[in-house]
Amino acid sequence: MANFYCEYCGTKYPSVSALTNGSCSRHPNGANKGKHKLYEGSEKTKYTCKYCGTSYPSISALTNGSCSRHPNGANKGKHAPAL
């Protein structure tokens, strides 16, 4: 049984349609300013930020932290998981 995760907040859903139906509290445009976005990578035991390389045990832990190498500027955005 596959799980589907939001790339922004790490919330787990049983289907893509359920995931993309929900507002995302960590959407880059602001809390609940957009829908969850499907994380298209595979399920992993740890996730690495594609900007700075820091690893976390879950997407939700990763996206909870500000990224010092975010493309919008240091700590101007959250870590983002690499695929």
Q: In sequence order, which ranges of the chain are alpha helices (DSSP H)?
A: 16-19, 59-62
Tell whether residue 13 is a contact of Zn ion (CB under 5 A): no
Tell whether residue 19 is a contact of Zn ion (CB under 5 A): no
Tell whether residue 56 is a contact of Zn ion (CB under 5 A): no
**Dihedral in degrees, nearest 10, Cα atoms 25, 27, 33, 39:** -100
Tell whether residue 24 is a contact of Zn ion (CB under 5 A): yes
Q: Which of 51, 58, 60, 61 binds Zn ion (CB under 5 A)?
A: 51
Three-state secondary structure of 62-81:
HCCCECCCCCCCCCCCECCE
User: Interface residues with Zn ion (CB under 5 A)?
Assistant: 6, 8-9, 24, 36, 49, 51-52, 67, 79
